[in-house]
Amino acid sequence: MTALTRESLLAVLADGREHSGEDLARTFGVSRAAVWKQIGKLADWQLEIEAAPGKGYRLARPLELLDAADLRRRIAGRTGPVRLELHTEIESTNGRLLARPPPPGTLAVCIAEYQTAGRGRRGRRWSAPFGTALCLSASWQFERTPPELAALTLAVGVVVRDVLARTVRVDARLKWPNDLVWDERKLGGILLELIAEAQGGCHVVIGVGLNVAMPPALLRRLSDWPRGAVDLATATGAVPSRAALAAELVVGLDALCRDYAATGFTPYRAAWRAADFLRGRSVTLHEPAGEIAATALGIEADGALLVETAGGARKRVLAGDVSVRAP
């Protein structure tokens, strides 16, 4: 008989159907009070549990739980060596891989159903209820620092956009330097972190966060964008398979990391420009010295953002935050 834990209880409730407390107690060989106690603990993962007197418990939305063996089958024969970790709960997938660099030639992948300390750019907190987003990080050891390393985030954006187009038929736009956009709303983001090594190489960790099927109330407050955030369930009209998305992202990021030292940003530049969300828009540059009003002109060959200020001066932006100004 399976022991009653949060994980085992959630595996039963994941189908979104009603399960009576009596049936659950019988399944796990425990009291109904023990079931009720574990139900309460699911709230720690921000899960919405509906309890109907005389009927039982059900999740507000069914969940597709990820399975490591299934993911390995999906990527088998399509990548080089991959070290895959799947966690029910973790502080940060990026943090995990920063502390555990892979050997050269191996892509390390860490996926979590729930992050307790997920991070976005500039240390911003990024949080999503259990199983409602895709929280995936990949890391790679470059023996020599690759050309156009600063543009690697943009190349990752192209890879993620291609996966979304092929897997769920979502035509996302790319907002410099690290956001994915659909219908003027934030769909996901990329966080790239690296550690330079004394021998001239570097350890790069690529974090990808995608909103898959989140509670509508959370989407409204998840982003400070004028129109807020959006998820793939809204964009497609159905809840897509997180397993399919995760597998395709691993395959795409594996190819990117293995090729980037030789190719740099060149193979990705045209695709990024075609999906550029900012080009031609009035934007605000948020810099330490203050805010600057400008018009985005697109990206240059090395991935830098080119803008024209109100005074007509052109400025290359290599790093920083950029927001769209209201008309």
Q: How far apart are CA 257 and CA 272, in angstroms?
A: 17
Asked whether residue 264 falls in the same domain as residue 291, the answer is: no
Asked whether residue 73 falls in the same domain as residue 221, the answer is: yes
**How much is the pLDDT for 52?**
81
Tell me whether residue 73 is one of the annotated catalytic residues.
Answer: no
Q: For residue 205, with 0-12 CB atoms within 10 Å meaning exposed, 13-18 middle and 19 or more buried, which class applies?
A: buried
Tell me whether residue 186 is one of the annotated catalytic residues.
Answer: yes
Asked if residue 238 belongs to a domain, the reply is yes
**How much is the pLDDT for 180?**
98
- Residue 110 CB neighbour total at 10 angstroms: 24
Which CATH number do you get for residue 167?
3.30.930.10
**How much is the pLDDT for 125?**
64
Asked if residue 73 belongs to a domain, the reply is yes
Asked whether residue 236 falls in the same domain as residue 313, the answer is: no
**How much is the pLDDT for 219?**
84
Asked whether residue 186 falls in the same domain as residue 319, the answer is: no
* Catalytic hit among 58, 96, 173, 186: 186
Coil/strand/helix, residue 268? helix
pLDDT digits 0-9 by tens, 114-128 = 999 866 555 566 678
Coil/strand/helix, residue 39? helix
Asked whether residue 119 falls in the same domain as residue 229, the answer is: yes
Asked whether residue 180 falls in the same domain as residue 119, the answer is: yes
Residue 290 is part of which domain span?
A: 282-324
- In this prediction the pTM is 0.92
Asked whether residue 157 falls in the same domain as residue 50, the answer is: no
Which CATH number do you get for residue 287?
2.30.30
**How much is the pLDDT for 120?**
58
Asked whether residue 106 falls in the same domain as residue 134, the answer is: yes
Asked whether residue 42 falls in the same domain as residue 91, the answer is: no
pLDDT digits 0-9 by tens, 57-75 = 999 889 999 999 999 999 9
Asked if residue 264 belongs to a domain, the reply is yes
Asked if residue 1 belongs to a domain, the reply is no
Asked whether residue 110 falls in the same domain as residue 193, the answer is: yes
How many domains would you assign to the chain?
3
**How much is the pLDDT for 326?**
67
With a CB cutoff of 8 Å and minimum separation 6, the contacts of 74 are 243, 244, 247
**How much is the pLDDT for 327?**
60
Coil/strand/helix, residue 181? strand
Positions in the chain whose pLDDT score sits under 70? 118-126, 326-327
**How much is the pLDDT for 172?**
98
Tell me whether residue 121 is one of the annotated catalytic residues.
Answer: yes
**How much is the pLDDT for 240?**
96
Which CATH number do you get for residue 52?
1.10.10.10
Asked whether residue 90 falls in the same domain as residue 185, the answer is: yes
How many angstroms from the chain centroid is the CA of residue 58?
Answer: 27
**Single-letter residue type at 8:** S
* Catalytic hit among 58, 119, 121, 185: 121
**How much is the pLDDT for 2?**
87
- Residue 50 CB neighbour total at 10 angstroms: 12
Asked if residue 138 belongs to a domain, the reply is yes
Asked whether residue 17 falls in the same domain as residue 80, the answer is: no
**How much is the pLDDT for 105?**
96
**How much is the pLDDT for 61?**
86
